[in-house]
Amino acid sequence: MTDRKLQTAVQGVRGRLEVPGDKSISHRAVMLGSIADGDTYIKGILDSDDVRSTLGAMADMGVESEWYDQDVIVHGRPLTALQEPSHPLNMGNSGTSTRLLMGLLANQPFPITYSGDASLSTRPLGRVIDPLGKMGARYVATNQRLPATKVPTQGLQGIHYRLPVASAQVKSALILAGLQAEGQTVITEPLATRDHTERMLQQFGVTITRDGQDIIVNPTTKLHATTIQVPGDISSAAFWLIAGLIVPNSQLTLTKVGINDTRIGILRLLQRMGAVITMANVVADGGEPYADLTVTTQGLQGIHINGDDVPTAVDEIPLLVLAATQALGDTVITGAQELHVKETDRIATVTTQLNKLGANIEAREDGFVVHGGTPLRVAEPTVVDSCGDHRIGMMLAIAALITDGEVTLAKAEAVSVSYPSFFADLERVVAE
Ligand code: S3P
């Protein structure tokens, strides 16, 4: 457990950063590359604890991969050639690895046990176990939490399933299982969530069709190995976008950031708060689009964020709460109950930790009321806690930049789940 003294009341954040590769896309590239018919090159893959959980699980089933600097080559093998793991697959802190692999491996003829850290072992799995059960895969899991064991499966059936919650993890698990099922699988999303799985399957030669809110999966397990270019993670860039907006005298450019429409809710919401974020060097020629984003210090105004806004900004809500503490007027966030079941209960952790720095945030069952125009300051040295949640830790480090007084972050090591070089990048952009 590492305590880290945070930089406070800085004079500005300035410069250019290339944030690490997108976590969601990196997981999917490893999984699809693992079952493709040859070598898949994953360029700019995120090297973090979560992605290593996915790589480790595939290695446990006989898939070999090699690192070359920032790239990974995965030597694919057919789904039918995966080996029975000799021990539980260790998912660490990674919900995406767990839920997507539960779908990808749903049809394996051998038992597979999944385990995870204390946080992951509290997160709900019924949302994948139930529909996969309807398809013919049976998981044994007390309270539908990890550890979970899949009993050997004898064939999957396509289903028509309406997702009770808007979740890209669940949608992706069902797409991956649907590829191996008999008959068509149709998944209906209540609201559009990130579509990286659908897009990437196209790159591997498999077409998934979309008809309104329906995603239609026809069975095929023939994936053609390819090269995947992973863009920068908008969820990591978001820390710097907020820093650039709320720290005085700032200007930051984030290069080659993924701008997939199903991920950039944060940009749309910041624009509604009055922010101007410029986009340059847009590349949108297949795969995932990316661009350079530039932001300068700006005044913001409070807004109402509702459930329709949440899926495309779900990981960035903690940062929007921080931005809202500095906005003119109140910001009301509703329909964000999914935050209760992230790496921590983020409605609780955001409220408790930011209020320690002088914010005035009320937690609500499905969101927050954030009172704006609140200077952050601590009268005496204060410890804020990531609570083991990478995004909470990084959000607090950004909050500290505008806090007067002495602030220490407990469990700072949590950032390595998605952004191991976060503190090095922070030191680079803080003006002398
Ligand atoms: C993810 C989907 C989201 C997101 C998570 C990554 C993905 O989770 O919060 O960080 O890669 O599919 P949900 O599907 O639970 O909303």
**Above pLDDT 70, what percent of the chain?**
100
Alpha carbon of residue 399 to chain centroid: 20
pLDDT in tens, 46-67: 999 999 999 999 999 999 999 9
- Measured between alpha carbons, how far is 327 from 134 in angstroms, rounded to an integer? 47
**Above pLDDT 90, what percent of the chain?**
99
| Residues contacting 190, CB < 8 A, separation 6+ | 162, 163, 164, 165, 166, 213
Res. 401 pLDDT band, cuts 50 70 90: very high
The answer on pLDDT for 155 being more than 70 is: yes
Q: CA 269 → CA 265, 287, 406, 417, distances in Å?
A: 6, 25, 31, 25
- Measured between alpha carbons, how far is 28 from 26 in angstroms, rounded to an integer? 5
pLDDT of residue 285: 85
The answer on pLDDT for 411 being more than 70 is: yes
- Structural domains in the chain, CATH included, are 4-20+231-431 (3.65.10.10), 23-229 (3.65.10.10)
Tokens encoding 83: 């080996």
C-alpha 8 – ligand 1 centre gap (Å): 31
pLDDT of residue 333: 99
Mean pLDDT, residues 194-216: 98
- The per-residue pLDDT of the chain, averaged, comes to 98
C-alpha 227 – ligand 1 centre gap (Å): 23
Mutate to test the pocket of ligand 1, among 101, 167, 191 (most ligand atoms within 8 A of CB): 167
315 is catalytic: yes
Does 315 count as an annotated binding residue? yes
| Residues 235/127/193/222 CA torsion (nearest 10 deg) | 100
Q: What are phi and psi of 236, to 5 degrees?
A: -85, -40
Q: How many CA atoms within 13 Å lie on the side-chain side of 333?
A: 37
Largest CA distance in the chain: 64
The catalytic residue among 315, 385, 389, 425 is 315
pLDDT in tens, 140-150: 999 999 999 99
Element at 51 (helix H, strand E)? helix 49-60
- Measured between alpha carbons, how far is 136 from 155 in angstroms, rounded to an integer? 7
Res. 286 pLDDT band, cuts 50 70 90: confident
Does 28 count as an annotated binding residue? yes
C-alpha 74 – ligand 1 centre gap (Å): 23
- Ligand 1, atom nearest to 194 Cα: 12
Report strand pairing: 139-141 vs 148-150.
antiparallel
Ligand 1 atom 13 nearest Cα:
167
Does 95 count as an annotated binding residue? yes
Res. 432 pLDDT band, cuts 50 70 90: low
pTM higher than the cut 0.95: yes
Res. 227 pLDDT band, cuts 50 70 90: very high
pLDDT of residue 121: 98
- End-to-end CA, the chain: 29
Strands, sheet with 227-229, edge to edge from the N-terminal-most edge strand: 64-68, 71-75, 39-43, 227-229
The answer on pLDDT for 100 being more than 80 is: yes
Ligand 1 atom 9 nearest Cα:
315
Res. 427 pLDDT band, cuts 50 70 90: very high
pLDDT in tens, 414-424: 999 999 999 99
DSSP single-letter state for residue 248? T
Does 386 count as an annotated binding residue? no
Residues with Cβ within 6 A of ligand 1?
Answer: 24, 96, 167-169, 172, 194, 314-315, 338
- Residue 192: strand, helix, or coil: coil
The answer on pLDDT for 202 being more than 70 is: yes
Tell which residue, 154, 157, 108, 153, has the closest CA to residue 134: 157
C-alpha 94 – ligand 1 centre gap (Å): 10
Res. 254 pLDDT band, cuts 50 70 90: very high
Tokens encoding 164: 């009770």
- Rg of the chain over Cα atoms, rounded to whole angstroms, equals 21
- Ligand 1, atom nearest to 341 Cα: 15
C-alpha 193 – ligand 1 centre gap (Å): 9
- Measured between alpha carbons, how far is 101 from 280 in angstroms, rounded to an integer? 36
Contact 262, 77 (CB under 8 A): no
Element at 243 (helix H, strand E)? helix 234-246
pLDDT of residue 1: 85
- Measured between alpha carbons, how far is 329 from 299 in angstroms, rounded to an integer? 11
Element at 217 (helix H, strand E)? strand 214-217
Mean pLDDT, residues 325-352: 98
